[in-house]
Structure 1
Amino acid sequence: MAGYIKSPFNYTGGKYKLLDQIMPLFPERIDNFIDLFSGGCNVGINVDAHCKKFIDYNDKLIDLLNVFKNYDLNEILIEIEGTIAMYELSNTSTFGYEYYNSNSSGGLADYNREKYMNLRKYYNNIKDNYDKFHKNVILYILIIYGFNNQIRFNKKGEFNIPVGKRDFNNRIKNNLIQFINKIKSSNCEFINLNFREIEPDYYKNSFIYADPPYLITNASYNEQGGWDEDCEYELYDQLDILSSRGVKFALSNVIENKGAKNEILVKWIYSRNYNIHYIDKNYNNSNYQIKDRSKKTIEVLITNY
């Protein structure tokens, strides 16, 4: 993936590994780019546009991205490394794996578990009016040291990911530095909105990329009723309205996944005569080329141009 910047989050459904297939399908010239379900921003951060708006309904994610945008890079790194040292979490970028009687394969979960849980408990007890910079840096550390670097909160708003195998290693640190530098050199905004709240005029003279939660998959972003059939219909209705106004869009989605089929998506695509571009993604357990057809996954990019 030479030439592309990787998000500092391992956000569920992230498209970094698919950029070689997705980016060539975008318009050659983009003035205003709107990443409607921005998540970890893997797509939008790599788009060449005069103005970029990253929109997501996850307010904690948007707050964190705005900290990356608005604070000095060195100040962020000092706060990260100082907090890691304070809670005595592993730091393989400085000491290596052998220092912790571990290796890359075995990981660092055993060493970090208790320390990580102490930091997670501290974060979940922080009041809403607490210093936003410090709170968001702690959230980032929890994401990096958490299982698969995922972001998940329970119904009480508490971060509840268990400890993971990795830490703030050189690769992750370099990803963060490149990502923050790109943010600071770009004309971009991070906006906390639900797609339902946005009026069609907001999209005027823009190109829209939409990567919503997938109706037929199980992931942290569509738990607790976060995405249902009503959301699916409303998004498609909104895209239809924008298309009728001459606004170009590209939609990432999954037609089939492990025996389930998104009939709403299929009917919408063919009734509107939109274009289907099949994405070849190799999943760990399934893809649309494997022999067991009950486990196939068909990922697509839908465009109205």
Structure 2
Amino acid sequence: MNTLTHSPLAYAGSKHRALRWLLPLFPRDINGFVDLFCGAANVVANMADCGPRYANDANPAMIDIWRTLQHYDPAGLEREVDRLIARWGLDSHDPATFNRFRDHYNTCGGSPVELFVLAVHSFNQQIRFNSAGAYNSSSGKAHHWFTPTVRENLRAFIPRIRDVEFTCSDFTVFDFTRLNADGFVYADPPYTLGTAVYNDRPHGTTPWTVDDDRRLFTLLDELGAHGIRFALSNVMEHKGRINEPLQEWVESRGLLVYGINIDYASCNYQNRNRQHATQEVLVTNYRPDGFSQDTLF
């Protein structure tokens, strides 16, 4: 596997820690890749030699960031970020500096680069807006600011998304006709067995529900019926609760399920202590090449 590239926005829920176990489960002969809920774009940035790459998300703020950053020279973007940090005196030991910059962004309708700077310096790097559409994430810890690690990730990340086509839409209206039989769709939707901020939908839309899960299952069924391979990340069990809609769909369709444990290490699900476990899984409609791990079902 090639050296992995991490998104400069490593907020909770992104797949940067799971990449080394997810990618070997993906097909090797892809010609056309869709990251249907791209978020921090960790997955699409690490897909190579797979033909055209498409990254979709319903969050317009996130897509605006990636569409803007992908055209920057990394060194030039670093200079722009440093200029904004200096202009607003952003200081991890003084949250008031962050609050002033956030107020400026909300009042003046800031640019995608300004939003990126806000996100990098926000708590857990979460991009969050209130019901009025104003950015309301609070200042983050020092290790979440524009650190040397974030700079290094940014330099490596931008060239990896240069030719990605980013789209912003509900997953049901994405144009899948651009894929052929060698195409591959990866879906990492919000998880219904969880209440974290990253499970929310963007401002102006309703929270993700079981009904949305079922709509996604139907869409994946349709893709499979047209010969398109897909993989779905989700949670099968969380704090003693079973994801029954997911389990029923998997069993009724004869899909394959591979366990990813709580610290994102591949594991044999049957050997885990299931009491109060959070069991992340990857569901596929194909058998991964050269992978011998048992499935759940």
TM-score range, shorter chain: 0.7 to 0.9
Does the alignment pair 1:158 with 2:140? Answer: no
Q: 2:4 is matched with which residue? A: 4
Q: Percent identity?
A: 36
Worse overlay, 252-261 or 194-203: 194-203
Q: 1:89 is matched with which residue? A: 90
Q: Secondary structure at the match of 2:40?
A: coil
Q: Secondary structure at the match of 1:17?
A: coil
1:241 to 222, 243, 253: 222
Please give the alpha-carbon distance, in whole angstroms, between the structure 1 residues aligned to 2:216 and 2:104. 38
Shift of 1:202: 4.3
Q: Secondary structure at the match of 1:4?
A: coil
1:113 to 64, 89, 95: 95
Q: 2:295 is matched with which residue? A: none
Shift of 1:262: 1.2
Shift of 1:115: 0.2
Does the alignment pair 1:231 with 2:212? Answer: yes
Does the 8 Å contact 1:277/1:302 carry over to 2? yes
Q: Secondary structure at the match of 2:130?
A: coil
Does the 8 Å contact 2:106/2:134 carry over to 1? yes
Q: 1:255 is matched with which residue? A: 236
Please give the alpha-carbon distance, in whole angstroms, between the structure 1 residues aligned to 2:179 and 2:208. 22
Please give the alpha-carbon distance, in whole angstroms, between the structure 2 residues aligned to 1:276 and 1:303. 6
Q: 2:58 is matched with which residue? A: 57
Please give the alpha-carbon distance, in whole angstroms, between the structure 2 residues aligned to 1:121 and 1:169. 23
Q: TM (normalized to structure 2)?
A: 0.86
Please give the alpha-carbon distance, in whole angstroms, between the structure 2 residues aligned to 1:63 and 1:141. 13
Does the 8 Å contact 1:59/1:192 carry over to 2? yes
Once the two structures are superposed, the pairs formed by residues 277-296 of structure 1 within 5 Å of their partners are: 277-282=258-263, 293=275, 295-296=276-277
Once the two structures are superposed, the pairs formed by residues 62-73 of structure 1 within 5 Å of their partners are: 62-73=63-74
Shift of 1:292: 7.8
* Structure 2: gaps of 5 or more residues: 287-297
Q: CA RMSD in A?
A: 2.0
Please give the alpha-carbon distance, in whole angstroms, between the structure 1 residues aligned to 2:159 and 2:226. 35
Q: Which amino acid counterpart does residue 238 of structure 1 have in structure 2?
A: L
Q: Which amino acid counterpart does residue 65 of structure 2 have in structure 1?
A: L
Q: Which amino acid counterpart does residue 302 of structure 1 have in structure 2?
A: V
Q: Which amino acid counterpart does residue 27 of structure 2 have in structure 1?
A: P
Shift of 1:2: 7.9
Once the two structures are superposed, the pairs formed by residues 117-196 of structure 1 within 5 Å of their partners are: 117-127=99-109, 135-166=111-142, 167-184=145-162, 187-196=163-172
Gap change, CA 1:200 and 1:181, over 3 Å in 2: closer
Shift of 1:290: 7.5
Q: 2:24 is matched with which residue? A: 24
Please give the alpha-carbon distance, in whole angstroms, between the structure 2 residues aligned to 1:281 and 1:60. 29
Q: Which amino acid counterpart does residue 245 of structure 1 have in structure 2?
A: H
Worse overlay, 194-203 or 25-34: 194-203
Q: 2:289 is matched with which residue? A: none
Q: 1:13 is matched with which residue? A: 13
1:201 to 167, 177, 181: 177
Please give the alpha-carbon distance, in whole angstroms, between the structure 1 residues aligned to 2:101 and 2:2. 35
Worse overlay, 197-206 or 45-54: 197-206
Worse overlay, 81-90 or 264-273: 81-90
Q: Secondary structure at the match of 1:125?
A: helix
Shift of 1:12: 3.0
Q: Secondary structure at the match of 1:65?
A: helix
Please give the alpha-carbon distance, in whole angstroms, between the structure 1 residues aligned to 2:192 and 2:88. 39
